[in-house]
Structure 1
Amino acid sequence: MRLSLLFVSAICLFTAACGSPFKASTPPGFVEVDNHGYDDRYDYRATTADGLVIAVRAVDNEDGGTLEFWTRAIENQLRSQGGYALLETVDVKTRAGVAGKQMRFGLDQETTPHLYYVSIFVTDDTVFVHEAGGSKELMTKNMAQVTASIDNLELK
């Protein structure tokens, strides 16, 4: 019995230690969705009924890159491989005061302008990437919810 309790305690500690390094809050008007094997790059995804998507992922900061390093690396990748035009870069903060950078990109899909916002937060161990994207009309209409999802992001 004692060995079983020790084993169960060890499993609980292991599970807690391996939990997500962040907590995302789903803003009003959005519904959290599972990836269902569609795209496992994200740890969290939410969408509106009209298709505006918010996603968050956490990746290991194996090489100890800085916020400036990761901001530039992601910008280079999106501009060269995705055809995105960088509109501006702004400072962002979570409600807890964690500072990050937000890159705002534009892309026209056929005749419809789209916006794609990538917010980056970096700790010694983890790079947190918060993404929001959709048509320019939807992004403008839901900007308060997008901002709230960044404000309420809890990084561990």
Structure 2
Amino acid sequence: MTPLKNLPQAGEKVPDFTLPNQDGNIISLSDFQSSWLILYFYPKDDTPGCTTEAREFTDLSHEFSVLGAKIVGVSPDTEKSHCKFIQKHNLSIQLLSDPEHQVCETYGVWQLKKFMGKEYMGVVRSTFLIAPDGKLAHVWSNVKVKNHVQAVLAKLQELFHGS
């Protein structure tokens, strides 16, 4: 897979966004001022990799919270799909619905993908660690789920403690 294009770079202000969450509440980047934000993009609710990632973020949500971080997932799924996904897996994280993939495109994660010889447009699993000042602290693109959430937590701990 080719590297993602148009990704915000570390140290740059990240693009603003406004999307509905699983409950239909409108959520914007400005809602997270003065907090660290883990903004992760994933392809589809209730698929194996996406479920593992969401459950691991939920399992470690206390550790993220202690460091002043909020966790928000974004996919093209509907609010209703997000609700079912959250209830089925007892998730504690917030999920945003981007059915027109406007925010996915803004963050450079809506890309041409290939699977079993077919090409299609979809979300390339990616995570953005956004500092309290709204600048990008770190990005992971083309994420493999195994050990990813632990890597995000380790990077946040490193930046939070200033080592």
- Mark yes or no: TM-score above 0.5: no
Structure with the larger strand share:
1
TM-score tier (shorter) = 0.3 to 0.5
Larger radius of gyration: 1
Q: TM-score, normalised by structure 2?
A: 0.32
TM-score (norm 1): 0.33
